[in-house]
Amino acid sequence: MNESLQIASSIECQNLSVRFGNGVEALNNVSLRIPSGEILSLVGPSGCGKTTLLRVLAGLNSPSSGEVIADPPIRGDLGQIAFVFQQPTLLPWRTALKNVLLPLELLRSSSPEHAKSRKESVEIAKQIMSDVGLADALHRYPRQLSGGMRMRVSIARALVTQPRVLLLDEPFAALDEILRIQLGEMLLGLWEQQRFTAVMVTHNISEAILLSHRIALIREGKSEAVIDNALPWPRSEAVRTDSQFGDLYRRISCSLRETSDKE
């Protein structure tokens, strides 16, 4: 799988602002740099603009001012950017494998000249399904899968195009603690393999520390601080006992509390 790897993009947000039609200012002059292959977590109170930032990065919302520059540039029609939603968002009439194949099928019709053959697509989809631990569930329908398995399918679907950038919007929020930990570790494993650049929105501070290189605190549409996370790689659940983990946790939690006190 490694030889066909796409080069991860670095992302530079320059003075991003988003104002909605109803006058709500969701983002206010946000500038962030995410180096290639880095995982950045966005943490902040509800309604602070984290999801809007993610949607702007995905090209699903356009900024009112400012711009996003990716290097190398990202082409959506080649599947170079992927999005994992809070809900698995699987199509109930498609089997797990066919759900994972969906992006490749859509790309085949939007840019046929770059598309992979049907046979090749199926091979890639089967490989990623086994990477997420679902080699036995290829032909099951979403309703026959547990919540955790559905999320695995959703992540497999996002990674099937080997994107340069992966965006995750509270992907594990609906899962219980044990599944959260398992899926977090799985995501790290996949990152080790593909080395995509990732931006993840989360409410869970431990998850942010475990999974990311840096953590950006967002408040009222602004990027308040970006905290470096020097915990050693490769990481696993065991870093929770590291003293650095505790320090970081306190720091982030204090900053978040400060910000919510100000409100």
Partner 1 sequence: MFSNRKEVFLSVTLVVLVALLALLVWESVVWYFDLPKALLPTPRQCFQAGFENQETLIKAILSTGIASVAGLASAVVIGSFLAMLFSQSRKLRLALFPYVILLQTVPIVAIAPLLIIWSGYTFRTVVIVTVIVCLFPIVNGVTTGLLSIDRDASDLFRLYRSSRWRTLSSLQMPTAVGHLVLGTKTSAALAVIGAIVAEFFVGNGTSYDGLGTLMTGWQALAKTDALIAALFCSALLGLALFGCVQLISMTFLRRWVQSS
Q: What residues line the site for partner 1 (CB under 8 A)?
A: 55, 58-60, 76-77, 79, 81-83, 85-87, 89-93, 102-103, 105-107, 109-111, 141-143, 145, 150
Phi, psi dihedrals of residue 221, rounded to the nearest 5°: 75, 5
- State the CB neighbour count (10 A cutoff) for residue 176: 10
* Residue 111 C-beta: closest distance to partner 1, Å: 8
Q: Which is nearer to partner 1, 16 or 104 (CB)?
A: 104
- State the CB neighbour count (10 A cutoff) for residue 139: 10
Q: Which is nearer to partner 1, 109 or 241 (CB)?
A: 109
Cα separation, 10 vs 188, in Å, equals 19
Phi, psi dihedrals of residue 57, rounded to the nearest 5°: -60, -35
Residue 249 identity (one-letter amino acid): Y
Cα separation, 170 vs 50, in Å, equals 10
Which uninterrupted H or E stretch holds 35? Answer: none
Cα separation, 39 vs 95, in Å, equals 30
Q: Which is nearer to partner 1, 170 or 235 (CB)?
A: 170
* Residue 47 C-beta: closest distance to partner 1, Å: 17
Q: Which residue from 196, 198, 152, 193 is spatially nearest to 172, judged by alpha carbons?
A: 152
* Structure-token pair, residue 148: 């955790």
* Residue 20 C-beta: closest distance to partner 1, Å: 15
* Residue 122 C-beta: closest distance to partner 1, Å: 17
* Residue 231 C-beta: closest distance to partner 1, Å: 31
Helix (H, G, I), strand (E, B) or coil at 22: coil
- State the CB neighbour count (10 A cutoff) for residue 144: 12
* Residue 126 C-beta: closest distance to partner 1, Å: 20
